[in-house]
A and B are shown apart, each in its own frame.
Chain A
């Protein structure tokens, strides 16, 4: 197990190295660039060149990349040119991370807490109205773009009916103490219950919007997987033993049906990260996704590089955790 983890971590370093090169080259092949973004299109050649020199953009690409990597290995990913000019790019990422973590975590909890039980029930009642309705609902969930879902939720629940906050993470004027940067958790830790409640209300709509696609995927995989397992001979053996419905459901059906679901949840982290860009923009959620969107608009290379690499690292790490979980559930992987 330990060897497996070490091997996977080494693989991850390799993946990140290759990715750093790709991101570096790709960003610089996009039209425009930080200089135009900073100075606007109508500028004298002299001023453009001076700024390019200052940013090191006058050097050939390989030289730029080697310099970037040298600094990066020492933890220096450069400073932001536009998003927060002069601010350390890594610091920008770290300061934005808790907001996105909180949002993604709630979205994932919603997706799993609804997707797995509903998937199980739909499988058990295959072909009934309940099954058909949930399947259609989940198809819609996957098909509708996150941006649109987010906008609809915001429009009705926040703007029209005024039930929940329109945007942001905390009401203005509410003086909350920060501990972790996860606002709900902070409120609980400091026993500022009003702040926790306020942060939770702000979370509802964005996390619902972000949860739609992972929910639909988890639901459908659970349903398909439970259907497969219900047909297995070992479930019939369990029935032949006269075990209670509860034991059969938990120990014999769900435990086996969860194997593909665990993998799916890991892969959904990718959907969460890309969904976060859109959701955070719609709800002015000051997280990584929003910074990424700003970085793109303003061609802020250092910020973009850090954010994309960090997203990739998180994705790979989560999937490593998923594989470990899988091995813990499935002895055929663990004991050979």
Chain B
């Protein structure tokens, strides 16, 4: 693995990944079509860590699976583009996409136990990706796999190679999955809720590891989470997703200091804070995504929004901004809070 350091967040460089107007619609014949991702656009520049944040069901996983070409082969349509390194991933053939996955773009998932094959040794699950993309034999790849396990903080890595997933702890399993993802030095890593299934103390360790690794390797990362707290220490830029659309985007500092969208404010207020005055209850956002209005003719968030105006239920709020900052709201929070 390369250890050269690169400048974090070269902000106005060419994007490594440019997602434009991504739409994913589910539904087979005879079913009401359901648009899980509704015109999502965002950029990831080399070495940058970009957050994709929103409540469960807002389309984060579907966005990432669409980019990776991992959605089920039937029962959905994907529109828009995802240009990676000058090539639209969405128009690549299946074999071309297989060559990218694991080599140029890697992914780690939420549940480390179910994401590992229970009947294959950890070492083999690391080497197979190197065998596939780097033309190594299993024998050649094994020592590299041990190095990788060591690199992600797994003690006694050589012995662990022969272990099966059920013999490792949850945190160690997620480290092993990170090792597999980074095995071929991908330029982009997509992490879909990588800490959600883990204990709180382990969560912090895994986040620290990811942060360290992206700085060290220069890998760009898309961090998907429902928890703005995860984003706080990690992301350069944050996209807030609601009902399949991005509703606010900004750099991390601005977004945390001066959130403009009422939904972002709601998410921030529901982060548990250590410095909160005793007895101050968390204030979760009222209602649920089940209350959403259709984006076609309203703001989907309106039924849950404290700032909602009449226009919010009659008209779609348009994106006001660019690929660095932006907002989709008729009545945002005042700039000075």
A interface with B by C-beta (< 8 Å): 232-234, 236-244, 247, 251-252, 255-256, 259, 329-332, 335
Cβ contacts under 8 Å, A252 to chain B = 117, 120
Cα A252 to Cα B133 in complex, Å, equals 18
B interface with A by C-beta (< 8 Å): 68, 70, 97-103, 106-107, 109, 111, 114-121, 128-129, 132-133, 164, 166-167, 177, 180-181
- Contact A242–B70 (Cβ < 8 Å): no
Cβ contacts under 8 Å, A251 to chain B = 117, 120, 128
Which residue of chain B has its CB nearest to the CB of A331? B164
- Contact B106–A256 (Cβ < 8 Å): no
Cα A184 to Cα B27 in complex, Å, equals 55
Cα A224 to Cα B100 in complex, Å, equals 31
- Contact B101–A244 (Cβ < 8 Å): no
CB distance from A37 to the nearest CB of B (A): 54
Cβ contacts under 8 Å, A239 to chain B = 70, 101
- Choose one: A233, A243, A244; the contact of B115 (CB below 8 Å): A233
- Contact B119–A240 (Cβ < 8 Å): no
Cα A251 to Cα B119 in complex, Å, equals 9
- Contact A233–B111 (Cβ < 8 Å): yes
Cα A187 to Cα B238 in complex, Å, equals 75
Cα A241 to Cα B106 in complex, Å, equals 7
12 A–B contacts, CB within 8 A, in A order: A233-B111, A234-B116, A240-B101, A240-B107, A242-B101, A242-B129, A243-B128, A256-B119, A329-B119, A331-B164, A331-B166, A332-B119
Give me the 9 closest cross-chain CB pairs, A-B, nearest first: A242-B101, A242-B102, A241-B102, A233-B114, A331-B164, A234-B117, A241-B129, A240-B107, A233-B115
> With A234-B118, A329-B119, A332-B166 in contact, is A243–B129 under 8 Å at CB?
yes
CB distance from A69 to the nearest CB of B (A): 44
> With A239-B70, A240-B70, A329-B119 in contact, is A335–B164 under 8 Å at CB?
yes
Cα A259 to Cα B166 in complex, Å, equals 17
Cβ contacts under 8 Å, A234 to chain B = 114-118
Cβ contacts under 8 Å, B128 to chain A = 241, 243, 247, 251
- Contact A238–B117 (Cβ < 8 Å): yes
CB distance from A154 to the nearest CB of B (A): 43
Cβ contacts under 8 Å, A240 to chain B = 68, 70, 101-102, 106-107, 109, 181
Most B C-beta atoms less than 10 A away, residue of A238, A242, A332, A335: A242
Cβ contacts under 8 Å, A237 to chain B = 109, 115-117, 177, 180
Most A C-beta atoms less than 10 A away, residue of B97, B102, B106, B177: B102
CB distance from B10 to the nearest CB of A (A): 27
Which residue of chain A has its CB nearest to the CB of B94? A245
Which residue of chain A has its CB nearest to the CB of B177? A237
Cα A197 to Cα B118 in complex, Å, equals 44
Cβ contacts under 8 Å, A236 to chain B = 70, 109, 115
- Contact B117–A243 (Cβ < 8 Å): no
CB distance from A127 to the nearest CB of B (A): 9
- Contact B116–A242 (Cβ < 8 Å): no
> With A239-B70, A335-B164 in contact, is A255–B133 under 8 Å at CB?
no
Which residue of chain B has its CB nearest to the CB of A255? B119
- Contact B119–A243 (Cβ < 8 Å): no
- Contact B132–A244 (Cβ < 8 Å): yes
- Contact A243–B118 (Cβ < 8 Å): no
- Contact A243–B70 (Cβ < 8 Å): no
List 19 additional A-B contacts (Cβ < 8 Å) besides A241-B129, A255-B120.
Answer: A236-B70, A236-B109, A237-B115, A237-B116, A240-B106, A240-B109, A241-B101, A242-B100, A242-B101, A242-B102, A242-B103, A252-B120, A255-B117, A255-B119, A256-B119, A331-B119, A331-B164, A331-B166, A332-B119
